Amino acid sequence: MSVALELNSTHDPQRRSWVVSANTVGGDFPIQNLPFAVFRRRARPDTFRGGVAIGDQIVDLAALTQAAIFSGEAGAAARAGAQSTLNALMQLGPSGAHALRQALSDALSEGSAMQSVLQPCLVPQLDAEYTLPARIGDYTDFFASIHHATAVGRLFRPDNPLLPNYQWVPIGYHGRSSSIGVSGQQFHRPRGQRLPPGQTLPVVGPSARVDYELELGIFVSTGNDLGDPIPIHEAEQHIFGMCILNDWSARDLQAWEYQPLGPFLAKNFATTISPWIITLEALAPFRVPFTRRAEDPEPLDYLSSPANRAGGAIDIRIEAWLQTALMRERGADAQRLSYSSFRHSYWTVAQLLTHHTVNGCNLQPGDLLGTGTQSGPMPAEAGSLLELSVGGAHPVQVGAEENRTFLQDGDRVILKAWCERPGTVRIGFGEAAGQMLPARAG
């Protein structure tokens, strides 16, 4: 069994931390989580370095390394994680991350003799700012929700919403890594070419149909050599962890440009991820069987394994919130638009990675895979405004005075994710927030 699927002392629901805030019921970062990010102190000439969340604090891996608190594999992993990106830590594979996570879990536990030496390595999260957790060489976005694929297909192909290849092959496209930003990202309304309704000639100008997409991201750990596919029973050994991802989309640009080669300018202007990466090991208690409807075909052999069938799916709860400019002006809280769970995904993380490499494609540490919009089977579980408004035909009520078919200038979208089930401690992903500004002058 892989490290990612095993339960061990780091998952013990009775384990508590001497960092008091980590014991708050319902918090995102209890001692059972210990996710990774890259941060620095605000308003200081500090360099960015790796850190691990515990309650409302961050374990500064650079300070921990300087103090030589850990040795052996855990010490080596701490040194790798103390750099300005987590790529070196990812390169070590799951054993390195596990050794560091186990050492931190023990050192942060109530009664640990290491409290006095580890306490000076803590930085309040309120004092921190974040950057991308890894140097992302390549970014691939998938289309892994059959509910999203069917709902969107129904808008454009009412008689044939789901294309015949969907149930056989994980569909994806290569995105743009240079425009990926961390939570708090702001971007201008994208401009591009589109065909206005009822017209025969395209125009160039600001998109009128900017949308959010409720997704998760998957960070690659150890890669593979060019020409060497990763079999599904080894796939999770090549995954470091997961984050929240918002693949902002300009639907009118997309509708005009996507045939025959797929998304381009409609997708590459901005992508927002959460700063925290939750390791697959931390997600182990929330595994569920990978199943499909009885009428659906079973995956081909290269996309199937006993472990994937038994626990390849993960019950990650995800939701989208919207705060408009008017809501902020009046001090109103954001409104939840939709919610779903990654357990509904038509493809697992192992299947996505395996399919990505079946042709010999080489992945590298820090590469990012997106799951695609994660919509659930019910209307309220739609992961985009395109679905919630049925292509813009039915505006979504926002607060008492506003509605939305697509996003307006000043809108701020906040995506959240967490895991919980009876007998476990809830763990969270933090959030991925982004805001659209008015288009730049053309």
* CA–CA distance, 222 with 215 (Å, rounded to integer): 23
Sign of torsion over alpha carbons 232, 238, 243, 245: negative
Q: Is position 148 annotated as part of the catalytic site?
A: yes
CB 250 within 8 A of CB 209: yes
Residues in the chain: 442
CB 31 within 8 A of CB 15: yes
CB 268 within 8 A of CB 176: yes
* CA–CA distance, 267 with 352 (Å, rounded to integer): 20
* CA–CA distance, 383 with 213 (Å, rounded to integer): 6
DSSP E strands, 105-161: 122-124, 128-131, 139-142
* CA–CA distance, 316 with 282 (Å, rounded to integer): 12
* CA–CA distance, 124 with 367 (Å, rounded to integer): 29
CB 20 within 8 A of CB 55: yes
Task: Write down the catalytic residue from 11, 98, 147, 148.
Answer: 148
CB 86 within 8 A of CB 367: no
Q: Spell 166-201 as b/e; 16+ CB within 10 A means b.
A: bbeebbbbebbbebbbbbebebebbbbebeeeeeee
* CA–CA distance, 4 with 100 (Å, rounded to integer): 14
DSSP E strands, 15-127: 36-41, 49-54, 57-60, 122-124
Q: Looking at residue 265, what DSSP letter applies?
A: T
Q: Retrieve residue 112's tokens.
A: 């640990």
Instruction: Characterise 98 by phi-psi region: left (phi > 0), alpha (psi -120 to 50), beta (else).
Output: alpha
Residue 432 neighbours by CB under 8 Å, 6+ apart: 183, 243, 244, 245, 246, 272, 273, 274, 414, 415
Could you give the residue numbers annotated as active site? 148
